[in-house]
Amino acid sequence: MKKVFVTIGFIIIIAGALVFYNKLYYPSLPIETISKREVLEKLNTSDQPIVFLSKENDQEWYIVNERNQSASDEIIKEMVSQSGWAFTDKDGSGLFFEKQGERLIVTTQKWTGEYVLVDIPTNWKE
């Protein structure tokens, strides 16, 4: 009987370690090319307020470590405006920019209470 409890305890410890290492307790990502663990590693090793994550399906994904949504919006506005885009409006999770008659829509979504994912079309740097 004692061996059964030791075996069950060992399995629980191994399962807990795997969950913690792979960050399975975080919500799923809308990005298929990068894992949750890799996202957090990129964010934690960078000193930038916004970090590039991946390029997928003509979209660029970034992450902002910010609890205050308005502060992350300002970070995004600053980054996009450096490429000549002018901020025009915000509607829900979308930030709207214009440049030479073209329109750019940047969307954001909370990933956790601390992290905001940013989705920008790849043509924004042109």
DSSP notation for 77-108: HHHHHTTT-EEEEEETTEEEEEETTEEEEEEE
- The Cα 18–Cα 7 span in angstroms is 17
Per-residue burial over 59-91, b = 16 or more CB atoms within 10 Å of its CB, e = otherwise? ebbbbbbbeeeeebbebbbebbeeeebebeeee
- Report residue 104 as tokens: 């750019």
How do residues 37-80 score in pLDDT, each as one tens digit? Answer: 899 889 888 888 899 999 998 899 999 987 555 688 899 999 99
Domains and their CATH numbers in the chain: 29-125 (3.30.310)
pLDDT of residue 125: 82
**Mean pLDDT in residue range 90-104:** 93
